[in-house]
Amino acid sequence: MLVISVVASFAAMALLVLGLSKFDHYCTQRFGYRFFTRGAFTLAVVALLCLTYGHRWWHATQADAADALNGMALMLIGASAALVLVTRNLRRTDLVIGSVGTALQISVFGVAAWIGMFALAAVLVLMFLVFGLGAVKPVWVINRR
C-alpha cells in the first residue's frame, strides 16, 4: 500500500508540473506573459512571508498588550507586494486568466517557499555537521586493558 501511495504522489506531482507548464505555455503564446518566473516567485514569497509573520507578530503583541504597529506594518508590506503581483498579472492578461494564474502562483509558490525553507534549514544543519564536526581531533586511549 505504501508503494501505491508513493507512486500516486509522484504521479500527482508530475501531473501538476505538466499542467502548470501547459498553462504557462498557453499564457506565453496568447499574451506573451509568463506567470511562473523567478521574479514572480520572489514577489509572492515576500508577500506570503510578510503577511504570515506580520500576523503572528501582531497576534503576539495582542496577548502582551504591546505595540502592534510592527506587525501591522509588516502585513502592509506583504499586502502591497501581493497587490503588485495581482495588478501586474491582471494588466498583462485578461481577468479570468489573470485571476486563475494569480491563484495558482500564490498557492504553488507558497508551498514551494515553505518546503524550501525547511530544505534550506536541513542543508544548513548538514553543512554544520560535515564542516563543523569534521575538524574534531581524534581521541587516543592510552591505558587500554
Domains in the chain: boundaries? 42-115
Positive or negative: CA dihedral 26, 30, 35, 36 = positive
Dist CA 4 CA 63 (whole Å): 46
Dist CA 31 CA 107 (whole Å): 22
Dist CA 135 CA 116 (whole Å): 29
Global confidence as pTM: 0.76
pLDDT reported for residue 144: 73
**Mean predicted confidence (pLDDT) in 118-125:** 92
- Residue range 2-39, pLDDT digits in tens: 899 999 999 999 999 999 999 999 999 999 999 999 99
As given in the structure block, the three cell numbers for residue 89 are 498579472
Give 72's pLDDT tier (boundaries 50, 70, 90). Answer: very high
Task: List CB contacts of 47: < 8 A, sequence separation 6 or more.
Answer: 78, 79, 81, 82, 85, 106
As given in the structure block, the three cell numbers for residue 23 are 498553462
